[in-house]
Amino acid sequence: MINIQDIYEARETIKDSVHKTPLLQSTQLNKLTGNNVFIKGEHLQKTGSFKFRGATNRIKQAVKNGETFVTTASSGNHGQAIAYATNEANIRSTIFVPENVPKSKEGAIKAYNGNLVKFGTLSRQRIQKAIEYAQAENGIFIPPFDDTYVIAGQGTIGLELLEQLDAIDVICVPIGGGGLISGIATAIKELKPSVQIIGVEPELSNVMYQSFQKGEIQALKEPTGIADGLRTSNPGEITFSIISKYVDDIVLVSEQEIKEALSFVMERMKQVIEPSGVASTAAVLFDKLNVRNKNIVCIASGGNIDIHQISHILGE
């Protein structure tokens, strides 16, 4: 578990490295939903996702401890963030990604001088491989979400939101392994507990939803779907404990709802957001929260979509 002090320390650690991302609005989105909706633009963060916050906080800690080599496992966004942060810190990194990693994410990892290795298609496969490789090479493994420094870094988004918006009723957060929602929920619930925290998962990758409903960690044999950044076989133990404590509910969105939300943000808002990043907007657009006249923040978690695949994704 982490607390608000950990998040304040993370903000101090990463303040000179990260962007303070904007809140975006759409009059049409407000009319369609009957709410006042704000989209927190983490797709405009360095490396194109919120992951840069947690990765930067963790890498700075690793450097302080004298580490010179790290490994990680990632569907893409965390890998990009680790590659960028280690390149800046002048230490080596090896990033284990799925064999079907999107080309845009693969290209970015290589551009940031990360050593990219494709392995398997499931998160548990590449996590185990990355752990073994770190041990063999006298390095350390940095988890994509189940790490207190990573979670604290993501929690700085919660601090920003409270500074940017006086009145927040609900925050909608996409869930993969749970690092993003764990950090935000800790910050918000410890500072302004009246705010509702709602997680959003795809129907085809709903392991945290199942775990939340049953009150214990479940496993998903083969998560799938267009939201590649939210495909997770197993929730983290740390993230699940925080979610169990602080998150009010988790809702599901379908593939079609994600596609329609993706079309909306591109056509109406002129924003390039990846399918994982529009899950929260899909939840509001398709009334999963069943609320009206509320100030709702949707976290746009990332924007790393392969532009050559957009028409294919929307046409599936």
**CATH of the domain spanning 4-49+147-315, picked from 3.90.1150.10, 3.30.1330.20, 3.40.50.1100, 3.40.50.300:** 3.40.50.1100
- H or E stretch at 70: strand 69-73
Contacts of residue 102, defined as CB under 8 A and 6 or more positions apart, other chains included, come to 76, 228, 304, 305, 306, 309
Over residues 20-39, mean pLDDT: 98
φ/ψ of 78, rounded to 5, equals -65, -40
Which SS3 state, helix, strand or coil, does residue 267 take? helix
Q: What is the pLDDT of residue 137?
A: 94
pLDDT at 276 over 70: yes
- Give the pLDDT band (50/70/90) at residue 101: confident
Query: Can you count the helices (H) and strands (E) in the chain?
Result: 13, 10
Half-sphere exposure of 41 (CA within 13 A, CB side): 17
- Give the pLDDT band (50/70/90) at residue 84: very high
Over residues 79-107, mean pLDDT: 93
42 in Cβ contact with 81 (< 8 Å):
no
pLDDT at 309 over 90: no
pLDDT digits (tens, 9 = 90+) for 150-182: 999 999 999 999 999 999 999 999 999 999 999
Dihedral of alpha carbons 50, 161, 164, 16, sign: negative
Domain boundaries, the chain: 4-49+147-315, 51-141
The Cα 115–Cα 27 span in angstroms is 43
Closest CA to 249 of 166, 147, 170: 170
Task: Tell me whether the CATH fold assigned to 4-49+147-315 matches the one assigned to 51-141.
Answer: yes
Classify burial at 301, counting beta carbons within 10 Å of its beta carbon; exposed 0-12, middle 13-18, buried 19 or more: buried
The Cα 3–Cα 148 span in angstroms is 10
At the top level of CATH, the class of 51-141 is alpha beta
Distances (CA, A) of 98 to 103, 120, 227, 303: 11, 5, 14, 19
Classify burial at 63, counting beta carbons within 10 Å of its beta carbon; exposed 0-12, middle 13-18, buried 19 or more: middle
The Cα 248–Cα 196 span in angstroms is 6
Q: What is the pLDDT of residue 316?
A: 59
Token pair for 284: 């509001």
158 in Cβ contact with 6 (< 8 Å):
no
Q: What is the pTM of this model?
A: 0.95
Classify burial at 162, counting beta carbons within 10 Å of its beta carbon; exposed 0-12, middle 13-18, buried 19 or more: middle
Kindly state the percentage of the chain with pLDDT values over 90: 87
